[in-house]
């Protein structure tokens, strides 16, 4: 008869817990304020990084023919992911939404074994228009652009990465109760 | 009620992410929290080498490292039976396109997963969570890591969390009540 692997339970005391419990330190508000101030000093650099990523995507998309190979798709996805991270952190809401849509599109195309350049190109052009330092678009224009991207996404009917994948830990607790 | 304080001074952090700018971004946040400058590395191989020769109180790791998935690195950490870093708290940062890796990182023994884009509030709350909420470590079959059955309680002062977690808090109480019944 097979025996079940023995379960061991440890109760480790981590040094992080010991250090964090010392007297002194910061309140949450002070810590978050401190981090926000540190981040403010990086805003210009982050904007430049976003523009660099968009330029790199443009180079790939507009330097190719009617299709994009797998390596090009992966490269675009990596740049788009970077834009999501930076746009989200630095409060570029519409750029964040457009970059997420591009991530969903590249992911969907790759999973479907498709190599179409055009839907990617439309997204990259939208990112260019929404980039920090680009001509300032009115909220209505931004909405319209996002609406057009949604139509492109709707045509392909790919799911969203956010919807398909695992939730983060806080969301798991909330979801489990529903 | 006054907020509780968290003293993160002298906490040694290992931060592993393929992207130079993201490493700078997270390092800036950590400094803002009063933490010392973290050791920043790019690959899992560098992280392994570092851990073998230096200690870390906290590891913050990107979901998909250039040389291996973070799950493999975490699994390696958790299987170092004789090493002091075996139980080190591990926070995994998942990029938008890496979200499918979240469950594998959790299965490998990550303490908590945080989605990018990161906010100072979100990162601080998760560090506070792993620092203040003791979770037993389970070693059973293939799994070695913190107990995945969350104790659904907020950090002790109830303040070290996002405002949007209030609903989660209520939900968590509901789960606890249901479990008790």
Structure confidence by residue, pLDDT tens digits, A106-156: 999 999 999 999 999 999 999 999 999 887 788 899 899 999 999 998 898
Number of neighbours of residue B139 by Cβ within 10 angstroms: 17
Contact between B140 and A35 using a beta-carbon 8 Å cutoff:
no
- Measured CA to CA in angstroms, residue B167 lies from A163, B148, B161 at distances of 20, 21, 12
DSSP-derived 3-state class of residue B113: strand
Q: Does B6 touch chain A (CB under 8 A)?
A: yes
What's the whole-number mean pLDDT along residues A96-111? 94
- The angle that helices A43-62 and A118-130 make with each other, rounded to 10 degrees, is 150
Of B146, B19, B132, B172, which is closest to residue B77 (Cα–Cα)? B146
DSSP-derived 3-state class of residue A26: strand
Round to whole Å and give the CA distance between A151 and B100: 25
HSE-up of residue B99 (Cα within 13 Å, Cβ side): 22
Q: Does B132 touch chain A (CB under 8 A)?
A: yes
- What is the pLDDT at residue A33? 95
Q: How many CB pairs under 8 A join A and B?
A: 223
- ipTM of the predicted structure? 0.81
Question: Among residues of chain B, what percentage have pLDDT more than 90?
Answer: 57
Q: Which residues contact B42 (CB under 8 A, 6 or more apart)?
A: B16, B17, B18, B20, B23, B65, B66
Q: How many angstroms away from the CA of B45 is the closest CA of chain A?
A: 21
Lookup: tokens for B176: 């606890």
Give the B window 150-179 contacts with A, CB below 8 Å: 150, 152, 159-160, 162, 165, 167-168, 171-172, 174-175, 178
Contact assessment for residue B34 and residue B13, using Cβ atoms and an 8 Å cutoff: no
Round to whole Å and give the CA distance between A82 and A50: 8
Residues facing A9 on adjacent strands: B138
- The pTM of the full predicted model, rounded to 2 decimals, is 0.82
Residue A175 pLDDT grade (very low, low, confident, very high; cuts 50, 70, 90): very low
A42-55 residue pLDDT tens: 999 999 999 999 99
Q: Does B81 touch chain A (CB under 8 A)?
A: no
Contact residues on chain B for A87, CB-CB shorter than 8 A: 117
Contact between B134 and A16 using a beta-carbon 8 Å cutoff:
no
Of B133, B132, B102, which is closest to residue B115 (Cα–Cα)? B102
Residue B14 pLDDT grade (very low, low, confident, very high; cuts 50, 70, 90): very high
Backbone angles phi, psi at A52, to 5 degrees: -65, -40
Taken as a whole, chain B contains a residue count of 181
Round to whole Å and give the CA distance between B40 and B60: 10
What's the whole-number mean pLDDT along residues A18-25? 94
Q: Tell which wins on pLDDT, B4 or B176.
A: B4
Query: Which of B25, B51, B96 is most worth mutating to test chain A (most A CB atoms within 10 A of its CB)?
Result: B96
Lookup: tokens for A32: 């978050």
Lookup: tokens for B178: 């249901």
What's the whole-number mean pLDDT along residues A146-171? 76
Residue B37 pLDDT grade (very low, low, confident, very high; cuts 50, 70, 90): very high
For A104-131, give the DSSP string: HHHHHHHHTT--BSHHHHHHHHHHHHHS
pLDDT at A2 over 70: no
Contact assessment for residue A117 and residue A61, using Cβ atoms and an 8 Å cutoff: yes
Q: Considering CB atoms only, which of B29, B125, B168 is closest to A38?
A: B29
Q: Tell which wins on pLDDT, B18 or B148.
A: B18
Q: Considering CB atoms only, which of A41, A85, A173 is closest to B95?
A: A85
Where does residue B160 rank: exposed (0-12), middle (13-18), buried (19+ CB within 10 A)?
Answer: buried
3-class SS letters over B122-161: HHHHHHHHHHHCCCCEEEECCEEEECCCCCCCCCCCCCCC
Residues facing B140 on adjacent strands: B143
- What is the pLDDT at residue A5? 66
B112-148 residue pLDDT tens: 988 888 899 999 999 999 999 888 999 988 899 998 7
- The angle that helices B20-32 and A70-89 make with each other, rounded to 10 degrees, is 20
């Amino acid at each position: 008869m097979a025996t079940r692997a023995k379960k061991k339970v440890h109760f480790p005391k981590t040094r992080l817990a010991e250090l964090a419990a010392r007297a002194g330190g910061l309140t949450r508000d002070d810590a978050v304020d401190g981090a926000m101030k540190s981040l403010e000093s990086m805003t210009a650099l982050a904007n430049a990084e976003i523009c660099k990523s968009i330029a790199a995507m443009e180079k790939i998309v507009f330097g190719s023919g009617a299709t994009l190979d797998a390596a090009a798709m992966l490269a675009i996805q990596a740049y788009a992911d970077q834009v999501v991270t930076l746009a989200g952190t630095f409060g570029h809401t519409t750029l964040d939404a457009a970059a997420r849509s591009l991530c969903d599109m590249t992911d969907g195309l790759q999973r479907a074994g498709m190599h179409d350049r055009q839907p990617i190109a439309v997204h990259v052009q939208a990112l260019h228009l929404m980039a920090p330092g680009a001509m300032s678009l009115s909220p209505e224009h931004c909405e319209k652009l996002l609406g057009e991207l949604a139509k492109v996404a709707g045509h392909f009917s790919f799911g969203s990465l956010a919807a398909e994948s695992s939730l983060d830990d806080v969301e798991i607790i909330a979801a489990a109760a529903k | 009620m006054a907020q509780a304080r968290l003293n993160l001074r002298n906490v040694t952090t290992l931060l592993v992410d393929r992207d130079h700018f993201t490493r700078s971004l997270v390092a800036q946040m950590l400094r803002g929290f009063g933490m010392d400058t973290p050791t920043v590395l790019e690959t899992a191989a560098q992280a392994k080498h570092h851990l073998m020769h230096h200690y870390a109180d906290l590891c913050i790791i990107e979901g998909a490292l250039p040389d291996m998935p973070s799950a493999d690195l975490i699994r390696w950490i958790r299987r170092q039976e004789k090493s002091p870093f075996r139980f080190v708290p591990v926070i995994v940062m998942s990029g938008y396109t890496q979200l499918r890796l979240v469950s594998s990182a959790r299965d490998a023994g990550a303490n908590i997963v945080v989605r990018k884009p990161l906010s100072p509030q979100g990162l601080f709350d998760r560090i506070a969570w792993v620092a203040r909420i003791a979770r037993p470590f389970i070693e059973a079959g293939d799994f070695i890591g913190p107990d995945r059955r969350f104790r659904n309680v907020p950090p002790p002062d109830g303040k070290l969390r996002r405002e949007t977690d209030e609903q989660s808090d209520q939900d968590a109480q509901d789960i606890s009540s249901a479990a008790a019944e």
